[in-house]
């Protein structure tokens, strides 16, 4: 990986008795797009705000480009405005008393740039989000999607090297959110920026990041590329929170084998070095076929329930593994009561850490 | 593109901490110090004018119970009567205006604010004109109609309580209707769905839910009534009915002034009011206001059929008694040389206005009041913005203490605060006693809760990330305040400015003690005029003051409407 841009080490944030972040460490490389993913209250936003200097941590250190921004041992905490990072807020935080232009120009004016530079930089930023034609409009007269774009343009206008995103798409409706995801990814590629992105939406996290950090109750559960997180979840929490998975209880039976509580012997894989104490495997609902395929785990079952979702069909299949959820494309519909053979490769049957 | 990183930004001083410390010191100097002086003087059993006291003891407190028990009794009776009336009026009006389909509801609701802006002083003068014995308008009409004797006399316990309830009790309406509005209509609707009748729903759901709000209002209003001064001064002193506030005032007028006794009484009043307000706050914080979710609902109004017009009449009657009659009576009086309501005998003249405006002292008093209003509002609002920001936005240690300090004057009756400041500044070797400067300091201090509360409402509405974003963009605290916070606060700043301005122009309780021969202000001058010259001249002066307040109010509504439109 390239040069480290942001380094967070053993970060702890406490509010009175409550621990919001409990010893979190990770690095973000130059030009990398890292997403902090987790349910609300997992400490992801607190971590992000600590990087921005908007939250006062209790321990650990944060450095950007090798310079300590926060260091508990040195009692050092650089004020937000001197950290040189930029941020897009969940509420957009577009100032209603200014025009679109003034909003975007703010960071440039703080840095005392000349009028001509300001104009050209603002226009370039507005072009990036296709908002140049609205430059003179009062910010209070913008729709939600337009405000989102202005917030984005404002965050990149002063050419920051690090941009922090705090759930920037969570206030948009589903359709606009999908569109903005595409644009965000495009923008990240075009500008040479490093970004840390916070979201509770696993689809969004998988779609737009180079690496995903899954957090829960103030600690990191797993760090990895979107594919690693999805295909090789390390813990029950990750398997359950990211995507949808069936969790099957049992115990390891040595050498890539797993004996389920229902007495079925499965061939499994593992993202970690097995310890023998594991008691669960995860199988993604999308990786189970309902017709036998050679070389895979096979278990007979019956369709108990069928729910037609449009883009996919969800079946509940009764089998020796217990009721399993299976998602298939909406072709070749099976009737409730039909006999099927569950088939999934050992590659997709992941042993979870105990 | 040029890359500008953290190092390119100039380091900044920690302005926030410096400003906070300076403000904290200044506010505690203004708020706490006078009360310390007051406590010391109340324990002074030697020469009351000596400072520091030659002997300490509780004689002043004991003397109150020995000699002034009648005063305490009057205070209690009048406060209870006024509270009961204020709550009855407030509850009835709140219920009509929030829960029924009374015609013209929006307009009526607006009109309900008027009595508050009339001020108790003007109200008391007006009711003295309307219902005074012999020459009062009601009695004049009664005599003209052939009746004998007086049928109305406002110079009684009940009369004082009546005026207090009408003009100071409006807060009961505001508080009760707030608790009615904040009730989720689904709570009532589900009772109806379960099969309860309208009456049963009202008795088992509505009333129990509104009750804490009503009790809270009663407690709050009672505390206010104990410290009420204007009506007791205008009506009570001629009628020789003394309550604790007028007794405090009276003992400072004696020769030699008995500051020890006045301080002891003031502190007693303060302790009782403080206790009640603390209890009131605890009551709210405990969450017994289960109905208040922070969200305002517009409950579906009950259809009252033809009864709606009767309810409309009730609202109009209140407006008539609290606004139309008093203003009408004052106008009528101010336009005559000898006030009469029998129009065939009336001789109309503008002489009273000419006299009022020509009298040097009146003119300077009005000028001083306006000047103080302008100055205190302008400087005060700026300081208050910073205070509010520190209390509700900063993460500084001790911001809770700042809030407590700033809201403290609310629990101190104005009059007691005036007395405390008088005694403090008689003894602090900075010669501002008897000047407008001391009045300005006093006004600023007593207006702190009003201004801070108004501004806090607006600050809390501003999304915190609007400010955080400025910091992330590289702005320091001062730059952020100037470019983001202050512009966003504009409507609140305007509202606070005008409210403070109006309150200063009408200030009576603190002014009576602090006004000097060369620093007169208008409200005490009106009281003086009422005591020494005719009601006709006083009426003209009161109307001139009221008119000024109305003009300020009109500007307030215009400006805030414009400013809020801009932002939405």
Residues A254-272: pLDDT tens digits?
A: 888 999 998 899 999 988 8
Do B6 and A54 lie within an 8 Å CB cutoff?
A: no
The Cα A199–Cα B520 span in angstroms is: 64
**Domain map (residue ranges) of chain B:** 11-37+242-290+352-568, 72-241+308-344
Q: pLDDT tens digits for B219-240? A: 889 988 998 898 999 999 888 9
More confident site: A82 or B184: A82
**Residue B10: what pLDDT?**
40
Share of chain B above pLDDT 90, in %: 20
Name the CATH superfamily, with its identifier, for domain A4-230: P-loop containing nucleotide triphosphate hydrolases (3.40.50.300)
Residue of A nearest to B14 (CA): A79
In angstroms, what is the C-alpha Rg of chain B?
Answer: 26
- A93/B474 touch (CB, cutoff 8 Å), yes or no: no
The secondary structure element, H or E, covering residue A291 is none
**Residues B472, A80: C-beta atoms closer than 8 Å:** yes
pLDDT for the residue B1: 36
What is residue B287's predicted lDDT score, i.e. its pLDDT?
44
Question: What's residue B281's pLDDT?
Answer: 77
Model pLDDT, residue B11: 41
Between the alpha carbon of residue B37 and those of residues B17, B325, B415, B425, the distances in Å are 29, 44, 15, 9
pLDDT tens digit sequence for B291-332: 333 445 556 677 777 888 999 999 999 999 999 999 999 998
pLDDT band at B560 (very low <50, low <70, confident <90, very high): low
Is the pLDDT confidence value at A83 over 50? Answer: yes
Distances in Å between the alpha carbon of B20 and those of B34, B391, B489?
A: 22, 10, 19
**Cα separation of B326 and B341, whole Å?**
13
Question: What residues have CB less than 8 Å from A269, skipping those under 6 apart?
Answer: A232, A256, A346, A347, A348, A349, A350, A351
- Read off the pLDDT band of B6 (50, 70, 90): very low
Residue predicted with more confidence, B296 or B483 = B483
First to last CA, chain B: 35
Identify the pLDDT of residue A317: 95
pLDDT at B299: 62
Question: A228-233 contacts: CB < 8 A, separation 24 or more?
Answer: A228/A271, A230/A206, A230/A284, A231/A284, A231/A348, A231/A350, A232/A269, A232/A271, A232/A350, A233/A271, A233/A282, A233/A350, A233/A352
Query: Is the per-residue pLDDT at B567 higher than 60?
Result: no
Tell me yes or no: is domain B11-37+242-290+352-568 CATH 3.40.718.10: no
Arithmetic mean of pLDDT over chain A? 91
CB B6 to CB A90 under 8 A?
A: no
User: So what's the pLDDT on residue B354?
Assistant: 84
pLDDT of residue B2: 39
- By CA distance, what is A142's nearest residue in B? B568
- In the predicted structure, residue B463 carries a pLDDT above the cut 50: yes
| List of residues 6+ apart from A145 with CB closer than 8 A | A172, A176, A180
| pLDDT range class, residue B65, cuts 50, 70, 90 | confident
Across B410-423, average pLDDT: 87
- Give mean pLDDT, residues A114-133: 92
Closest chain B CA to residue A154: B473
Looking at per-residue pLDDT, the higher value among B547 and B86 belongs to: B86
B473 contacts on A by Cβ (under 8 Å)? 81, 86, 106-107, 110, 154, 158
How would residue B183 be classed by pLDDT, with cut points 50, 70 and 90?
confident
B397 touches chain A (CB under 8 A): no
Q: Where in chain A is the domain with CATH 2.40.50.140?
A: 244-351
The length of chain B, given as a count of residues:
568
Q: Would you place residue A24 in the very low, low, confident or very high pLDDT band (cuts 50, 70, 90)?
A: very high
Homologous superfamily assigned to A244-351? Nucleic acid-binding proteins (2.40.50.140)
Task: Kindly report each contact of residues B422-430 with a partner whose C-beta sits within 8 Å and lies 24 or more positions away, as own/partner.
Answer: B422/B252, B422/B513, B422/B514, B423/B34, B423/B37, B423/B38, B423/B41, B423/B259, B423/B263, B424/B33, B424/B34, B424/B36, B424/B37, B424/B38, B426/B51, B427/B37, B427/B51
Q: Which residue has the higher pLDDT, A11 or A77?
A: A11
- B4 contacts in A (CB within 8 Å)? 84, 111, 158-159
Residue among B458, B463, B472 with most chain A CBs within 10 A, to mutate? B472
The string of pLDDT tens digits covering residues A211-231 is 999 999 999 999 999 999 999
Query: Which residues of chain B have a CB within 8 Å of the CB of A96?
Result: 488, 567
- The pLDDT tens digits for A274-289 are 888 889 999 999 999 9
Task: Compute the distance between CA of residue B104 and CA of residue A117 in angstroms, rounded to an integer.
Answer: 57
DSSP A49-98: HHHHTSS--SEEEEEETTEEEEETTTTEE--GGGS-EEEE-TT----TTS
Task: Determine the Cα–Cα distance for residues B523 and A266; give it in Å rounded to an integer.
Answer: 92
Instruction: Point out the residue among B3, B475, B566 whose CB comes nearest to the CB of A110.
Output: B475
Order of strands across the sheet with A297-308? A324-328, A313-319, A297-308, A339-344
Residues with Cβ within 8 Å of residue B428, at least 6 apart in sequence = none
**Given a cut of 80, is residue A236 above it in pLDDT?**
yes
Mean pLDDT score, B453-466: 84
Contact A159 B1 (CB under 8 A): yes
Look at residue B568 and tell me whether its pLDDT is greater than 50.
Answer: no
Q: Answer yes or no: is pLDDT of B539 > 70.
A: yes
- When scoring A64, A93, A162 by the number of chain B Cβ atoms within 10 A, the one with the most, hence best to mutate, is A93
Architecture per CATH, B72-241+308-344: Orthogonal Bundle (1.10)
Tokens of A175: 């359709």
Distance from CA of B196 to the nearest CA of A (A): 41
Q: Which two tokens stand for residue A75?
A: 């009692």
Q: Is the pLDDT of residue B171 over 50?
A: yes
At B295 the pLDDT is: 47
Higher-pLDDT residue of B370, B14? B370
Could you tell me which of A80, A42, A57, A32 has the C-alpha nearest to residue A222? A42
Mean pLDDT (chain B) is 83
**Measured between beta carbons, which residues in chain B are less than 8 angstroms from residue A63?**
none
Kindly state the average pLDDT of the residues B81-94. Answer: 94
**What's B80-104 look like in SS3?**
HHHHHHHHHHHHHHHHHHHHECCCC
């Amino acid at each position: 990986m390239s040069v480290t841009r942001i380094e967070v080490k053993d970060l702890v944030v406490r509010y009175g008795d409550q621990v919001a972040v409990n010893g979190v460490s990770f690095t973000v490389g130059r030009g990398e797009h890292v997403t902090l993913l987790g349910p609300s209250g997992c400490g992801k936003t607190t971590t992000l705000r600590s990087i921005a200097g908007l939250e006062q941590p209790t321990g650990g250190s944060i450095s950007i480009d090798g310079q300590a921004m926060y260091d508990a041992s040195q009692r050092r905490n650089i004020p937000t405005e001197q950290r040189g990072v930029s941020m897009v807020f969940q509420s957009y935080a577009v100032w209603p008393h200014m025009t679109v232009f003034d909003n975007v120009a703010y960071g440039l004016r703080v840095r005392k740039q000349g009028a001509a530079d300001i104009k050209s930089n603002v226009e370039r930023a507005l072009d990036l989000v296709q908002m140049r034609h609205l430059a003179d409009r009062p910010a209070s007269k913008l729709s939600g999607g337009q405000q989102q774009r202005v917030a984005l343009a404002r965050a990149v206008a002063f050419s920051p090297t690090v941009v922090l995103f705090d759930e920037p798409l969570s206030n948009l409706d589903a359709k606009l959110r999908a569109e903005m995801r595409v644009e965000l990814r495009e923008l990240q590629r075009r500008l040479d920026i490093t970004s840390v992105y916070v979201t509770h939406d696993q689809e969004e996290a998988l779609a737009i990041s180079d690496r995903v950090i899954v957090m829960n109750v103030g600690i990191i559960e797993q760090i990895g590329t979107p594919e690693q997180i999805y295909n090789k979840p390390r813990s029950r929490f990750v398997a359950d929170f990211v995507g949808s998975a069936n969790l099957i209880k049992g115990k390891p039976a040595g050498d890539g084998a797993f004996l389920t509580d229902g007495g079925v012997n499965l061939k499994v894989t593992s993202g970690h070095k097995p310890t023998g104490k594991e008691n669960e495997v995860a199988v993604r609902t999308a990786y189970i076929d309902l017709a036998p395929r050679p070389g895979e785990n096979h278990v007979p079952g019956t369709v108990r329930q069928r729910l037609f979702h449009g883009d996919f069909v969800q079946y509940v299949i009764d089998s020796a593994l217990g009721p399993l959820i299976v998602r298939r494309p909406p072709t070749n519909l099976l009737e409730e009561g039909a006999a099927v053979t569950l088939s999934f490769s050992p590659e997709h049957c992941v042993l979870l850490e105990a | 593109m040029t890359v500008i990183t953290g190092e390119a930004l100039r380091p900044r001083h920690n302005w926030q901490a410096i400003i906070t410390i300076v403000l904290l010191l200044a506010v505690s100097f203004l708020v706490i110090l006078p009360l310390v002086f007051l406590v010391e003087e109340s324990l002074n059993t030697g020469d009351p004018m000596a400072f520091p006291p030659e002997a300490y003891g509780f004689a002043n407190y004991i003397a109150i119970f020995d000699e002034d028990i009648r005063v305490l009794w009057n205070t209690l009776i009048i406060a209870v009567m006024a509270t009961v009336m204020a709550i009855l009026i407030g509850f009835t009006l709140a219920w009509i205006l929030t829960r029924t389909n009374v015609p013209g509801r929006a307009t009526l609701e607006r009109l309900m604010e008027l009595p508050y802006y009339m001020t108790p002083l003007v109200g008391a003068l007006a009711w003295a004109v309307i219902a005074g014995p012999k020459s009062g308008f009601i009695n004049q009409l009664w005599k003209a109609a052939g009746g004998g004797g007086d049928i109305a006399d406002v110079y009684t316990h009940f009369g004082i309580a009546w005026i207090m309830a009408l003009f100071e009790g409006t807060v009961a309406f505001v508080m009760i209707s707030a608790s009615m509005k904040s009730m989720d209509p689904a709570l009532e609707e589900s009772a109806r769905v379960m099969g309860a009748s309208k009456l049963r729903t009202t008795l088992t759901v509505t009333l129990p839910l509104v009750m804490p709000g009503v009790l809270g209002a009663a407690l709050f209003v009672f505390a206010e009534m104990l410290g009420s001064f204007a009506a007791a001064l205008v009506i009570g002193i001629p009628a020789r009915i003394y309550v604790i506030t007028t007794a405090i005032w009276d003992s400072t007028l004696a020769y030699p002034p008995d500051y020890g006794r006045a301080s002891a009484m003031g502190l007693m009043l303060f302790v009782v009011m403080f206790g009640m307000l603390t209890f009131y706050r605890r009551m709210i914080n405990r969450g017994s206001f289960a109905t208040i979710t922070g969200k305002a609902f517009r409950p579906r109004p009950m259809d009252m059929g033809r009864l709606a017009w009767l309810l409309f009449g009730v609202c109009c009657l209140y407006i008539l008694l609290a606004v139309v009659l008093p203003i009408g009576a004052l106008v009528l009086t101010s336009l005559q040389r000898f006030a009469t309501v029998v129009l065939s005998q009336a001789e109309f003249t503008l002489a009273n206005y000419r006299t009022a405006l020509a009298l040097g002292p009146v003119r300077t008093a009005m000028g001083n009041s306006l000047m103080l209003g302008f100055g205190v509002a302008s400087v005060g609002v700026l300081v208050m913005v910073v205070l509010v920001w520190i209390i509700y936005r900063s993460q500084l240690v001790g911001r809770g203490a700042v809030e407590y300090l700033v809201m403290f004057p609310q629990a101190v009756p104005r009059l007691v605060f005036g007395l405390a400041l008088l005694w403090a500044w008689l003894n602090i070797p900075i010669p501002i006693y008897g000047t407008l400067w001391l009045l300005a300091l006093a006004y600023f201090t007593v207006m702190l809760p009003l201004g801070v509360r108004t501004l806090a409402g607006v600050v809390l509405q501003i999304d915190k990330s609007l400010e955080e974003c400025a910091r992330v963009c590289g702005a320091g605290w001062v730059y952020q305040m100037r470019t983001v916070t202050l512009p966003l606060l504009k409507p609140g700043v305007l509202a606070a400015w005008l409210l403070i301005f109006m309150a200063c122009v009408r200030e009576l309780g603190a002014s009576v003690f602090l006004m000097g021969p060369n620093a007169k202000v208008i409200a005490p001058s009106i009281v003086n005029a009422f005591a020494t010259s005719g009601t006709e001249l006083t009426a003209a002066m009161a109307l001139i003051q009221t008119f000024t307040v109305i003009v300020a109010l009109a500007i307030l509504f215009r400006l805030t409407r414009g400013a809020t439109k801009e932002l939405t």
